[in-house]
Structure 1
């Protein structure tokens, strides 16, 4: 209910040019509209959505560990730009994990303390590292698509979040695939 009062105060402050009577009418209408917006969560299975968001968070946290480890294991002439790219991927994974966790708490639930699978092949050739990275990105992409299926047409905020993250993950997949190609292929 506190959210309703905050939103009521915000919407009322935005119409300072209206008369006091109009403000009261507008305020009541806003609360009704806002209450309906909050009720749209009833159309989604919050428990199932939170389960998927926790999986996303765990997968992204595994990405932080994975990309940090990969950055430490790169050797050779091209090390500096590859390490930089790996570290930026680790930072981005942490941001994605935080965003999923914020959504979980916004839905009134508790984020997981778990972390996704960390498979170590002990192969540190850059091609092997990139193929493992590709598998990890596919796992994350799959979780975002699952979320999109659960919320599509039911919750705009979560749908837009899922779509934005799918676009980002598909961009990452494209980058990794391009890095795996040999010049001239």
Structure 2
């Protein structure tokens, strides 16, 4: 049974919501790149800024698609949580939570808007792949011990 197809108006509204979230991702990741400290600051700054750049790439894709569909891209940015001081673990946990929510939103949108629009389906699928990679990376950053190593064929990977 095919998924229910959304209207063009519903698609534009959904893509604008995505755009707001991607814009928030840019802000959040850049902010984290400014406030990370310690001996590993360089690679962490690069990681956060790479994530910000990838969010900007998604924002550009979304904005262009909204315009192509006859809509108007939003200038709104979803509110970004700013608690003041955050540990690196807190920053990454916040980013992981946001990435997981965004990933699920894109997956849900694929079910509604992907069946009858191949270019839309392919764009959303690529963004899903990117978002899943972000989730995977954030989860790796949060690992703290060997107990998190994967078990392969009954043996711990080393």
CA distance in 2, matches of 1:88, 1:171: 12
- Between the aligned partners of 2:104 and 2:81, the Cα distance in structure 1 is 18
Unaligned runs of 5+ in 1: 1-42
Larger radius of gyration: 1
- The aligned residue for residue 115 of structure 2 is 153
Secondary structure of the 1:118 match is coil
Alpha-carbon distance between aligned partners in 2 of 1:121 and 1:136, rounded to the nearest angstrom: 15
RMSD over equivalenced CA pairs, Å: 1.2
| Alignment-derived partner of residue 184 in structure 1 | 146
Give, in whole Å, the separation in 2 of the partners of 1:93 and 1:122: 23
**C-alpha separation in 1, matches of 2:80 and 2:22:** 11
Number of aligned residue pairs? 143
Q: Where in structure 2 are there 5+ consecutive unaligned residues?
A: 148-158
Aligned equivalent of 2:77, options 97, 105, 115: 115
Q: 1:129 aligns with which of 57, 81, 91?
A: 91
| Matched position secondary structure for 1:112 | coil
1:62-91 deviation line (CA, Å, top 9, x unaligned):
011000000011001111100011011111
Q: Where does residue 144 of structure 1 map in the other structure?
A: 106
1:73 to 35, 50, 57: 35
Question: Secondary structure of 2:82's partner?
Answer: coil
Q: Which ranges of 4 or more aligned residues in structure 1 deviate by more than 6 Å?
A: none
Q: Is 1:173 equivalent to 2:135 in the alignment?
A: yes
Higher relative contact order (CA closer than 8 Å, sequence separation 6+): 2
- Alpha-carbon distance, 1:44 to partner: 4.3
The question of whether the paired residues in 2 share the 8 Å contact of 1:123 and 1:129 is answered with: no
Structure 2 matches for 1:30-109, cutoff 5 A?
Answer: 44-109=6-71
